[in-house]
């Protein structure tokens, strides 16, 4: 038997332990957040169905021949809420118009108006239950800075999948634990196999969800939007130097156009009936979201955002004449913006209909299966009085192999990179402190 020297390559078992250790800590750090994102994201996939069920009493209206003037809808909503209308979602057949109201205290409400008689049928906090779920999904409800955690969690989710795939890689014959389950629910091997096999079939979808969720992040999303736009790969440029409007809210315009500024002429504001007439004459699909000018001289925008992203279209209209200033379609987006918009649509379960919706739901369920099975595995193997983390490999060179997996991710997502550096420093310090404590105990 040959003796191992310091120059010999690290053993496969040492490399396995390094990946196992990081997989363990990655799960420990992000699984609670990842499971929350999966729960809220899974619910958001059924946004339309949930909204219809919860607000049916406000939504359903009796269809009649004549409709009231849209200005009547706006006036009724403003009177009922005591605020100013900032957005209108045009009604679908048999359903109420939605008027978003900005109240004096800065809060928003959604007011439902019967388009046929202008009667207010109900009012809810802006966006209702699904807006609450969306804000919980982005962690905005936790704190303003908590959206940073979404970017970190998404990046670590990719680390989990990459290290998990390495740990899953078959090292023996047979299908047990590879694509099939062994044992019974009372045995740890059953939960280990459930965890691994679920990860095998759902890992790609989880990486996709993590990557396509990044455009909403407060750091990476904004930087990518700015970089792709400046490189000519993002949103279309403003058609003229005089054009002005700003739309930061999600749902007002597509992701690539959020923050787009368009200026227009000043003067008495055109009536909403003229604006809506020009939008319909331009052939914009329905229902669409009409955003009112935020300040004097700002343009109107009308955004049609169907499930199929290639049919997305946004009009900008002059606030005085009502004329179309810009007509922006998906085909005008740069390559990066097209890819990101497509990813967002698939992420939300819209692009390919029901199969897309159920596939994304399957990924969310898989996250819960893996999180639950990981907890049960840990509980069954944990030593008393200890966290039960896999031991650090004695040969530190094995971290070079781990770096090949995590370094590209750390470079592409800076916040993830920063958190990885912090985790590595803590891991090294903890290892040295434990070694020093053992040495002191032996002396």
Q: What pLDDT sits at residue 82?
A: 93
More confident residue, 173 or 69: 69
Rounded Cα gap, residues 410 and 146, in angstroms: 20
Q: Mean pLDDT lowest for which of 98-102, 274-278, 332-336, 404-408?
A: 404-408
Structure tokens at 91: 């009604």
At residue 147, the pLDDT reads 79
What is the rounded CA–CA span in Å between residue 74 and residue 79?
9
- Tell whether the model's pLDDT for residue 243 goes beyond 60: no
- Least confident range of 343-347, 350-354, 422-426: 422-426
Residue 96 has pLDDT above 70, yes or no: yes
Long-range contacts of 78-85, Cβ-Cβ distance < 8 Å, separation of 24 or more? 80/111, 80/120, 80/123, 81/109, 81/111, 81/123, 83/109, 85/292
pLDDT of residue 13: 80
% of the chain residues with pLDDT over 70 = 87
DSSP for 378-405?
HHHHPPTTS--PPPPPS-GGGHHHHHHH
Q: Could you tell me the residue ranges of all domains in the chain?
A: 14-31+143-215+369-437, 48-135, 235-333
Judged against a pLDDT cut of 50, whether residue 145 lies above it is answered with yes
Instruction: Note the pLDDT of residue 102.
Output: 96
User: Could you tell me if 264 and 298 are in contact, meaning their C-beta atoms sit under 8 angstroms apart?
Assistant: yes
CB 215 within 8 A of CB 226: no
Tally the residues of the chain. 443
Task: Determine the pLDDT at residue 356.
Answer: 97
- The pLDDT of residue 385 is 66
Q: What pLDDT is stored for residue 298 in this prediction?
A: 86
- Which residue from 345, 264, 277 is spatially nearest to 308, judged by alpha carbons? 345
What is the β-pairing status of strands 84-89 and 289-291? antiparallel
At 97, give phi and psi (nearest 5°): -80, 145
Q: Residues 244-298: pLDDT tens digits? A: 344 445 555 565 556 555 555 677 889 999 999 999 999 999 999 999 998 888 8
CATH 3.40.1050.10 for domain 48-135, yes or no, is no
Confidence of residue 388 (pLDDT cuts 50, 70, 90): confident
Per-residue pLDDT at 126 exceeds 90: yes
Say what the pTM is.
0.85
Query: Where is average pLDDT lowest: 138-147, 267-276, 396-405?
Result: 396-405
Q: Is 142 exposed, middle or buried (0-12, 13-18, 19+ CB in 10 A)?
A: middle
Q: What is the pLDDT of residue 220?
A: 85
What confidence category does residue 173 fall into, taking pLDDT thresholds of 50, 70 and 90?
low
């Amino acid at each position: 038997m040959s003796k191992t020297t310091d120059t010999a390559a690290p053993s496969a078992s040492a490399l396995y332990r390094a990946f196992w250790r990081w997989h363990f800590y990655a799960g420990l750090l992000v699984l609670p957040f990842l499971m929350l994102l999966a729960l809220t994201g899974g619910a958001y996939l059924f946004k339309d169905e949930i909204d219809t069920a919860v607000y049916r009493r406000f939504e359903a209206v009796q269809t009649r021949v004549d409709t009231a003037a849209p200005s009547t809808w706006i006036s009724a909503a403003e009177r009922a809420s005591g605020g100013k209308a900032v957005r209108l979602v045009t009604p679908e057949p048999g359903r109420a118009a939605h008027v978003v109201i900005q109240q004096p205290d800065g809060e928003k409400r959604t007011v439902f108006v019967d388009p046929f008689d202008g009667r207010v049928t109900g009012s809810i906090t802006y966006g209702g239950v699904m807006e609450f779920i969306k804000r919980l999904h982005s962690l905005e409800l936790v704190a303003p800075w908590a959206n940073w955690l979404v970017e970190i969690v998404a990046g670590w989710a990719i680390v989990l999948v990459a290290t998990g795939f390495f740990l899953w890689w078959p090292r023996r014959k047979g299908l047990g634990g590879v694509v099939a389950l062994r044992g019974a629910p009372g045995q740890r091997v059953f939960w280990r196999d459930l965890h691994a096999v679920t990860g095998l079939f759902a890992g790609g979808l989880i990486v996709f969800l993590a990557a396509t969720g990044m455009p909403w992040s407060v750091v990476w999303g904004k930087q990518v939007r700015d970089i792709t736009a400046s490189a000519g790969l993002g949103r279309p440029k403003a058609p003229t130097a005089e054009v002005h409007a700003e739309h930061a809210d999600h749902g007002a315009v597509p992701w690539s156009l959020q923050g787009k500024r368009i200026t227009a002429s000043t003067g008495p504001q055109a009536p909403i009936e003229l604006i809506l007439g020009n939008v319909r004459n331009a052939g914009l699909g329905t229902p669409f979201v009409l955003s009112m000018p935020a300040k004097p001289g700002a343009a109107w925008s009308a955004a049609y955002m169907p499930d199929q992203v290639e049919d997305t279209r946004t009009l900008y209209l002059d606030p005085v004449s009502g004329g179309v200033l810009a007509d922006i379609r998906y085909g005008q987006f740069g390559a990066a913006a097209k890819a990101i918009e497509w990813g967002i649509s698939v992420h939300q379960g819209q692009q390919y209909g029901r199969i897309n919706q159920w596939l994304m739901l399957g990924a969310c369920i898989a996250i819960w299966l893996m999180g639950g099975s990981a907890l049960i595995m840990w509980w069954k193997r944990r030593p008393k009085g200890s966290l039960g983390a896999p031991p650090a490999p004695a040969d530190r060179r094995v971290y070079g192999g781990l770096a090949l997996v995590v370094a590209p991710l750390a470079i592409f997502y800076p916040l993830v990179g920063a958190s990885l550096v912090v985790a590595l420093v803590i891991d090294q310090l903890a290892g040295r402190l434990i070694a020093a404590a053992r040495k002191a105990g032996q002396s």
